[in-house]
Structure 1
Amino acid sequence: MTDADATASPDLAASPVRLTAWVHGHVQGVGFRWATRTKALEVGLVGFASNYPDGRVLVIAEGREDATDALLAWLKSGATPGRVDTVVSDVTGPRGGYSGFDTR
């Protein structure tokens, strides 16, 4: 690979993406959203974590693909507060509009 080839293909890990993750389990009332916020900020993401009436937490995170991968791995790791049974996730292009990481 030449230097010209390296500059022609962008670093995919640096490409901004949007992670949407529905987290199922015992994840409300245990500090889950706050811990998610802390982890997201640690890896440089913006977005939010929000409780839903059915007991799930919705996590929307935007930033570098490697950072969203790290957050998703953490959500699935068992290192979160509470108990995560399932994480249903999708990665799409970013929509923007976030300046930090909120809990709702």
Structure 2
Amino acid sequence: MITMDFDPTTHPHRRYNPLLQEHVLVSPHRTKRPWLGQIEAPQTAILPDHDPSCYLCPGNQRSGGQTNPEYEQIFTFVNDFAAILPGPPPDTPSPPHPMLTLQPVHARSI
């Protein structure tokens, strides 16, 4: 018998969901099948050099009210609506149930 190491990124397997008390089938190998569906040609759009309504263009106002610098090369923006906030995380609350654990997270400064 040939044995191989199990790799959850390539081998089909089932995972247990303790909240629903059921198993879920995971078949990652299916992403390797060939695509025989419709393929459309990419749209060719003529874009302007500067869009005055674009909140990321140089010199335009951001959604948070700041004005972008007049950058001419690659520019790194701070996310105005980040999913994780900077600063120290708040104290960890007590979970209402042992199955419902949670941990506060925070972003580091860039």
Q: TM-score, normalised by structure 1?
A: 0.20
Structure with max Cα Rg:
2
Structure with the bigger percentage of helix: 1
